[in-house]
């Protein structure tokens, strides 16, 4: 089934995240500990995340990925040298929902970028994935949901 791409207006969202560089084959091993570290920091400061974990993809160069594992917070919080406080931008996003295992995400990304071109939309910032389904709570990989957002103009 072909994913349904669309545009959506979103508001800015404060986040806390850790940025790192890794290789495509190590993404899964890198993400879990980084999300855990950010979640722990938020809890240490008497807060809880205001949504599900997300990964911002700042750049990809061959097999190397510059990414940021982040969690949304209800209001801006101070960061540290390692944990960056910033926000997801407000504006127009090209977006699509991926259903199923993470292994199939590249096909959904390809469908979104192809749709963006067909609509005359240009990238206007770093895209991100929101992991709507917690794999620890839902073992059936076919039920996993990932929302992809790509700032456009």
> Residue ranges of the domains in the chain?
6-151
Alpha-carbon distance of 80 to 97, in angstroms, equals 32
Strand pairing partners for 84? 17
Q: How far is CA 141 from the centre of its chain?
A: 18
Per-residue confidence (pLDDT) for residue 1, from 0 to 100: 63
pTM over 0.75: yes
User: Each residue of 14-62: pLDDT tens digit?
Assistant: 999 999 999 999 998 999 999 999 999 999 999 999 999 999 999 999 8
Per-residue confidence (pLDDT) for residue 117, from 0 to 100: 97
Beta strand pairing call for 6-10 and 64-72: unpaired
- Residue 11 tokens, joined: 């508001």
Structural fold of domain 6-151:
Multidrug-efflux Transporter 1 Regulator Bmrr; Chain A (3.20.80)
């Amino acid at each position: 089934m072909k994913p349904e791409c669309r545009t959506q207006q979103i508001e800015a969202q404060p986040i806390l995240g850790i940025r790192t560089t890794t290789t495509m084959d190590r993404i899964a091993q890198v993400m879990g500990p980084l999300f855990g570290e950010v979640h722990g920091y938020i809890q240490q400061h008497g807060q809880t995340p205001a949504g599900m974990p997300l990964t911002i993809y700042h750049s990809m160069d061959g097999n190397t990925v510059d990414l940021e594992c982040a969690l949304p917070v209800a209001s801006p919080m101070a960061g540290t040298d390692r944990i960056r406080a910033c926000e997801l931008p407000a504006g127009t996003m090209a977006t699509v929902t991926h259903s199923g295992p993470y292994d199939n995400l590249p096909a959904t990304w390809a469908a979104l970028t192809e749709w963006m071109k067909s609509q005359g939309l240009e990238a206007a910032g770093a895209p991100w994935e929101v992991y709507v389904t917690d794999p620890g709570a839902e073992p059936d990989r076919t039920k996993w949901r990932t929302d992809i957002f790509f700032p456009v103009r």
